[in-house]
Amino acid sequence: MLNFIEHYAHPFKVQGGIMEAPLTRAKLGEICLIQTDTVSDTWRRGQVIGFKPGCAILSLFDDGQGLNGQSRVYPTGQPLCIEIGEHSLGSIYNGAGELCARMVPESPPGQARFITQWRAVDNPVVDPLRRQPITQPFYSGVRTIDGLMTCSKGQRVGIFAAAGAGKSSLLHSLLLRDSAEVIVIALIGERGREVQDFIQHGLNPAQRMKTVVVFATSDAPPIERKNAALVAMTIAEYFRDAGCEVLLLMDSITRYARAIREVGFAAGEPVATSGFPASVFAELPRLLERAGPGTENGVITAFFTILLESQQGHDAIGEEVRSILDGHIYLSTKLAAANHYPAIDVLNSLSRLFSRITSPQQQQTAGILRRALQRLDEVQLLLELGEYQTGNDRFTDKVIEHKATLLAFLQQTSDECEEPAITLEKMQHVAKSFS
């Protein structure tokens, strides 16, 4: 089993899920196997995250209980790798890349469409000069998104929301139209009950057959929470490289960044920006840029959630992610409190590829609706105070008169999925009411 049995070290410090051991040959990112003691033959795993003079720093995939000074640490010479193939569909993985459960029975061997491969989870980004262009729209079934901020296949979109604004409900809605060939869901730092809830209530039986779930709950070690995002992205890349259209939903990037922060501080990194070490802002683009089109026919259309600390003020992670992605959807707690769902703040949301994949007519219609929402926002205070006077601006008068029609178009139940042609027809009807 162990080719590296000749080289091992005893730890001289284990504290809070971090181990220090005199491993002179270890490399950054390398997986090490830890034998708790020679009597019980119990094995654990750790990953090299940094070095000090004369020793390597390992982050453990558990809390380290039971380890002692006589435990043996064996470097494997390998990074974290995961086995991916036909068996991955319908499976649930943890953040260490281990298949821990199945949602549906595995397909018979003779029906396999995909060749099993071992892949390292920390892969380089696709060469941007070899990527296929983005040309086709991705329709979510959510009116506000498909009509006013149409996304494309291979686009990377952020869903920015404070707690309680309905980001989980929006993720469920994105699954309803069911147009992707493979679905990869990453639940990072979520509450334990939400993992089972998402599987049971967010996926229908047919979807479970083509879905891979990767999770690392809030109580998981930081190295597992960090690696969960990499495992999910690696699985999505595998199916993209096989020519599939992949939908990747990752909830949340914020908790991924916090896991990197914990690992970075454990490795001795200093604080750089807003309480985060520099490694966070290096790792974020390395992960996010891996999504998108591949060099052949496959694509990864990715939606990442970002948990904002508040609706106002500077959010370092939010600003960094927004600058990297191809679009951003902001959810408003104010709209959510008014029972307006999905609580999408249209004026602060956009798709950077909207003008490339939509017709001039849709762009014109969307412009009218955005202008109407902007005008409503400008006069809202006057309306609440009863100070607005009609007759000064015809367009504003029309917007106020047909406000209910506009808001009805923007609202949709979480289990309602609408075809794009119907969405465009409704948009045109609303826009005509302002003329």
Residue 225 has, within 13 A of its CA and on its CB side, a CA count of 23
Q: How far apart are CA 152 and CA 173, in angstroms?
A: 17
DSSP E strand boundaries for 61-146 = 72-79, 81-84, 91-94, 99-102, 117-120, 137-138
Tokens of 324: 């990297």
The pLDDT tens digits along the chain (435 residues) read 445 456 889 998 998 889 999 998 899 999 999 998 777 778 899 999 999 998 999 999 988 888 888 889 999 999 999 999 999 999 999 999 999 999 988 777 667 789 999 999 999 999 999 999 999 999 999 999 999 999 999 999 999 999 888 898 899 999 988 889 999 999 999 888 888 888 888 888 889 999 999 999 999 999 999 999 999 999 999 999 999 999 999 998 999 999 999 999 999 999 988 889 999 999 999 999 999 999 988 999 999 999 998 666 678 999 999 999 999 999 999 999 999 999 999 999 999 999 999 999 999 999 999 999 999 999 988 888 888 888 888 999 999 999 999 999 999 998 899 999 999 999 999 999 987
**Structural element, H or E, at residue 287:** helix 278-288
Structural domain 13-79, CATH architecture: Beta Barrel (2.40)
Q: Token match 């080289």: residue?
A: 7
Burial class (CB in 10 A: 0-12, 13-18, 19+), 173: buried
Q: Token match 């060939």: residue?
A: 181
pLDDT at 274: 85
Q: How far apart are CA 49 and CA 302, in angstroms?
A: 28
> Is the separation of the CB atoms in 180 and 136 below 8 Å?
no
Which pTM does this prediction carry? Answer: 0.93
Q: How far apart are CA 345 and CA 334, in angstroms?
A: 9
Q: Pinpoint the alpha helices (H) of 210-252.
A: 222-241
pLDDT at 8: 86
Fold designation for 81-85+108-196+222-356: Rossmann fold (3.40.50)
A 10 A CB-CB count for 303 gives 26
pLDDT at 130: 93
C-alpha radius of gyration, the chain, whole number:
24
**Structural element, H or E, at residue 400:** helix 394-401
Report the DSSP pairing between strands 72-79 and 30-35: antiparallel
Class of domain 360-432: mainly alpha
Tokens of 137: 């729209």
Residue 57 has, within 13 A of its CA and on its CB side, a CA count of 17
- Contacts of residue 325, defined as CB under 8 A and 6 or more positions apart, other chains included, come to 156, 157, 158, 288, 304
The sign of the CA dihedral 94, 100, 105, 108 is: positive
> Is the separation of the CB atoms in 192 and 217 below 8 Å?
yes
A 10 A CB-CB count for 306 gives 28
Report the DSSP pairing between strands 91-94 and 211-216: parallel
Phi, psi of 258 (to 5 degrees): -65, -35
Structural domain spans, the chain = 13-79, 81-85+108-196+222-356, 360-432
3-state secondary structure of 98: coil
Q: How far apart are CA 237 and CA 214, in angstroms?
A: 14
Q: How far apart are CA 223 and CA 59, in angstroms?
A: 6
Q: List beta partners, residue 293.
A: 299
Q: How far apart are CA 172 and CA 362, in angstroms?
A: 26
| Secondary structure letter of residue 421 according to DSSP | H
pLDDT at 1: 43
Distances (CA, A) of 349 to 53, 247, 328, 370, 411: 49, 21, 5, 11, 16
pLDDT at 110: 66
For residue 183, which of 138, 235, 135 has the smallest C-alpha distance?
235
Q: How many helices (H) and strands (E) does the chain have?
A: 14, 22
**Structural element, H or E, at residue 58:** strand 55-60
